[in-house]
Structure formats: structure tokens, C-alpha cells
Amino acid sequence: MKTQELPHIVIVGAGFGGLTTARKLRGAPVRITLIDRHNYHLFQPLLYQVAIAGLVPAQIAYPLRTIFRHQNNLSFQMGEVTSIDFNARYVRTNGSVIAYDYLVLAIGGQTNFFGLQAVQENGFQLKSVEDATGTRNHLLEMFEKASREVDPERRKALLTFVVVGGGPTGVETAGALAELITHVMAKDYPEMDLRESRVLLVEATGSVMATYPEGLREATMDLLRSKNVEILLNARLTDYNGHTVTLADGHRVDAYTLIWTAGVRSAELTDRLGLPQGSGGRIRVEPTLQLPDHPEVFVIGDAAYVEDRQGVPLPMLATVAQQQAGTAARNLKRILKGAKPEPFHYKDPGLLATIGRNAAVARIWGLSFSGFVAWVIWVGLHIFRLIGFRNRLLVLINWAWDYVFYDNQVRLITRE
Ligand SMILES: Cc1cc2nc3c(=O)[nH]c(=O)nc-3n(C[C@H](O)[C@H](O)[C@H](O)COP(=O)(O)OP(=O)(O)OC[C@H]3O[C@@H](n4cnc5c(N)ncnc54)[C@H](O)[C@@H]3O)c2cc1C
């Protein structure tokens, strides 16, 4: 068969789901067009490390054209998909119209501010490279401003950092931020008494890490407190004007920094497709990950609403997106051979989150552990999962340097 006659698979999104699908279709008798608004794949779980001046963006992102340099059945197009015609089978980008035989939508998610407009405008989030470098610049600037501030109340507010959301991202960010202050900033600003600084973790429910077993939730809180993170539980944020945080019980905290990690929902495009949506705006799909009325379309990852056997929606995690990518690629191959697609079943690989130096919590193979052993597993796994040998080596060297010398390398305030 001539190349042009091969079935054309368009994959939208080169995050964990799209990238894995494309790789799994390597060597298959298909033509693949991979589309993403960025020209790189981003390892989002380490974005917080960019925000706390630990890593540079290039160490957690990798150019897509390099990743697929040797995959002959794939071409990459950088572009934003703005609409999809499911009946005529084409996607429209900000520059072209691309027809498909099969479509894989892996467009991911975005931060959910639950309608809190003021928080969206005045707070920071961790979803993109720009968000993370913007947060880093702001955090570092707060120390500069505080160092020349004579009003003690204003100085305290400049040195108060509020992280909202007690899930893994909030916990990791709060822990790393507390360590940045204790180990690094205290050395950079000997003229300031950084015991004035505060890191607050604000959580609306009664516990951090709600999906973790009781013992690990307690261990997480103990580790956070040992790093001087103040934990506010059952504290629902209602407003933030850029310098004062207001909670539902009327409690106020003066802080010039708020990092919102309390919610995630599906990418904006999912709201414009006219398809049935589940919680968080995610698109409802069949157990085989196909659209009910369009079996030639698969939706995977954060953008897809899929329930487990107990009827609980699957979490928005890289591990879910990657496993679904495996099923989507397998089902596409089966369909092309005339076989029936198979349903997706998630195999939970466990839980893992770090709280900083020598401190992490993990649940793997039914075993829970916390502290140094969990932290070593966390470091090893994250190095392994990064794309590119160079990035793995650089991140390892960087972390080893920080570990030995108590020094975060990227303390640059840059303007974009
Ligand atoms: C700070 C942070 C920490 C996290 N930590 C963990 C963790 O420790 N463990 C874990 O398992 N998960 C973690 N996650 C969640 C994990 O990153 C997501 O579940 C995962 O990225 C989902 O994969 P995906 O392929 O669905 O979407 P993504 O990886 O988000 O990829 C979506 C892609 O689609 C592109 N795109 C979106 N819309 C369009 C459009 N209209 N046109 C063109 N391209 C488009 C985007 O540019 C992006 O490249 C974390 C997420 C964040 C933000």
C-alpha cells in the first residue's frame, strides 16, 4: 500500500497520553499526525521544581521533533486545535484543516479555580512552563522586596507564602518552598531574620492527601510540620486580592503570594465539542475509550471521564493517561485488523509524593512507607521517567548538588 493510502491517525496533544499512543503505534501500518500547541513534551510532575528554583524548564521538557526523529510513520505539527467536525472527520487548527480516519484526543487538563475569579487573577498556578517560571520570578522577588522593607507588617506579608490544596502537588510545593527558605534563602539574605517567613498549606477538607491511607496522611502532616509548614485544615478559601487571603470562617492572612493547586479540570477545548461531559468537564467515553457515536474517535487522559469498577471516576494522573494510551493504541491496531476493541482497566501502580529532602510517602505493592526510603524511590522513579538521557543526567547532577551543598541553582529573576 502507498503511504498516502494508509489510514490516517491524528493525535491531538503530546502530553503523557498522546506521546505514549504515538510511540506505541511506531511501526504500525498507519500515517500519524501528532498535533500540539507546544513543540515540546512537558513532564508536569516536576513543574513545582521549576517554581522553587530547583530546575530549569529545559530539564523537564523535551522537543517533540527530536523524540520522533526516527519514527517514520509520524509527522508533527505545532498548532492549537480550535474545533473538530466529527461528522466530516477533520480537525481545524489555527492555520490548517486536517482530515482524519481515526482521532485520538489527548488534550489534558487545566487548573480549576471553581469560579474564584479573584484567585485566578491574583494567584499563581502550576500547569505550564510559563506558570512555573512566573511563580519562580515572583517568589524570588518577594525576598528582594522584603530585604529592603522597613514596615515589619508588610515585610511579614511579603514573606508569607500560601499554598492552597493539600493534594500531592500542594504538599510537594509547600515542602520544597519551606526548604528553599530554610536552607537556601537564609544563606542568601543574612541581613533578614527568615524566622519571620511562613509557609501555609490551606486545605478545605479534614486532611491532606485525601486519597492516601490514614497512616500516610498522618506521616505527610508530620513531615510537613517538621519542615515548618503550617497546615490549615477545614479551611476553605473564599477570596484573594493579591495581598490578603480570606477564608470562609472570616479568618484573614496577609500574604503577597498564593499558589493554587486545589483543582484541575479538562482542557478548555472539551467544552466546545458539543459532547456529553462528566465531572470536571471530562468527555464521557465507552469502556473501550471510544466516543459512543463516533467509534473512530478515542479520548484519553485528563480529558476523558472513565469510571473504575466501583463507579468512581479515575484520577487525573499521568499513570492513567499512559495506560489508556496503551489501550487506545492496541484498540486502533485491533480495529485495523477487523477485531473488536477491548475495554480499559486501570492497574493502580501505587502512590508516591515527596515532601522535600529525605522525606516522601509511598504506597507500593500494598506496602506503605515514609521518610528516606520513600524519598529514594521517588528520586529514582522521577529520574527514570524523564525523557532523554541528557535531562536525566542533568537533573540527577542538579539534585545531587542541591543535596550536598544545600543550594538551589536557578535563583534568577528573569523578565519574560
Ligand atoms: C504540577 C503537577 C504535578 C503533577 N504530578 C503528578 C504526579 O506526581 N503523578 C502523576 O501521575 N500525575 C501528576 N500530574 C498529573 C499529570 O501531569 C496529568 O494527569 C497528565 O499530564 C495527563 O496526561 P494527558 O496526556 O491527559 O495531558 P497532558 O499531559 O496535560 O497533555 C496534554 C497536551 O495537549 C496539548 N493541548 C491541549 N489543548 C490543545 C489544543 N487545543 N490544541 C493543541 N494541543 C493542545 C497540551 O499542550 C499538552 O501538551 C501532575 C500535574 C501537574 C499540573
- Residues 294-308 have pLDDT tens digits of 999 999 999 999 999
With a pLDDT cut of 90, the percent of the chain lying above it is 89
Does 168 sit in the ligand 1 pocket, CB within 6 Å? Answer: yes
Three-class DSSP category at 345? coil
To 10 degrees, the CA torsion angle through 251, 253, 259, 263? 0
pLDDT of 2 reads 73
Give the distance (Å) from ligand 1 centre to CA of residue 15.
5
pLDDT of 404 reads 85
Does 45 sit in the ligand 1 pocket, CB within 6 Å? Answer: yes
Which helix (H) or strand (E) element contains residue 398?
Answer: helix 389-405
DSSP state of 314: P
For the stretch 90-127, pLDDT in tens is: 999 998 999 999 999 999 999 999 999 999 999 999 99
Give the distance (Å) from ligand 1 centre to CA of residue 276.
21
pLDDT of 104 reads 98
**In the structure, what pLDDT confidence band is assigned to residue 407 with cuts at 50, 70 and 90?**
confident
Checking if the pLDDT of 409 tops 90, the result is no
Whether 172 sits among the annotated catalytic residues: the reply is yes
Nearest CA-CA partner of 46 in 58, 37, 38: 58
Does 360 sit in the ligand 1 pocket, CB within 6 Å? Answer: no
Phi-psi label, residue 242: left if phi above 0, alpha if psi -120 to 50, beta otherwise: left
pLDDT of 408 reads 80
Does 60 sit in the ligand 1 pocket, CB within 6 Å? Answer: no
Nearest CA-CA partner of 269 in 98, 16, 83: 83
Residue range 60-86: average pLDDT?
Answer: 97
To 10 degrees, the CA torsion angle through 278, 280, 281, 286? -40
Residue range 313-318: average pLDDT?
Answer: 96
Among 317, 381, 384, name the best residue to mutate to test ligand 1's pocket (greatest count of ligand atoms within 8 A of Cβ). 317
**In the structure, what pLDDT confidence band is assigned to residue 416 with cuts at 50, 70 and 90?**
low
Give the distance (Å) from ligand 1 centre to CA of residue 405.
32
| Closest ligand 1 atom, residue 353 Cα | 8
What is the secondary structure of 252-309 as a DSSP string? EEE-SEEEE-S-EEE-GGGGGS---B-GGGPEE--TTSEETTEEEEEE-GGGEE-B-T
The pLDDT mean for the chain works out to: 95
Where b means 16+ CB within 10 Å and e means fewer, 122-145 reads bbbbbbbbebbbbbbbebbebbee
pLDDT of 4 reads 78
DSSP state of 226: H
For the stretch 183-207, pLDDT in tens is: 999 999 999 999 999 999 999 999 9
For residue 104, what are the CA distances in angstroms to 276, 300, 339? 17, 7, 18
Give the distance (Å) from ligand 1 centre to CA of residue 203.
23
Does 35 sit in the ligand 1 pocket, CB within 6 Å? Answer: yes
Q: Which of 27-31, 124-128, 281-285, 373-377 has the lowest mean pLDDT?
A: 373-377
**In the structure, what pLDDT confidence band is assigned to residue 389 with cuts at 50, 70 and 90?**
confident
| Closest ligand 1 atom, residue 302 Cα | 26
pLDDT of 113 reads 98
Q: What is the pTM of this model?
A: 0.96
pLDDT of 56 reads 93
Does 321 sit in the ligand 1 pocket, CB within 6 Å? Answer: yes
**Residue of 144, 172, 218, 230 with catalytic role:** 172
The protein residue with its alpha carbon nearest to ligand 1, atom 53, reads 127
Does 170 sit in the ligand 1 pocket, CB within 6 Å? Answer: no
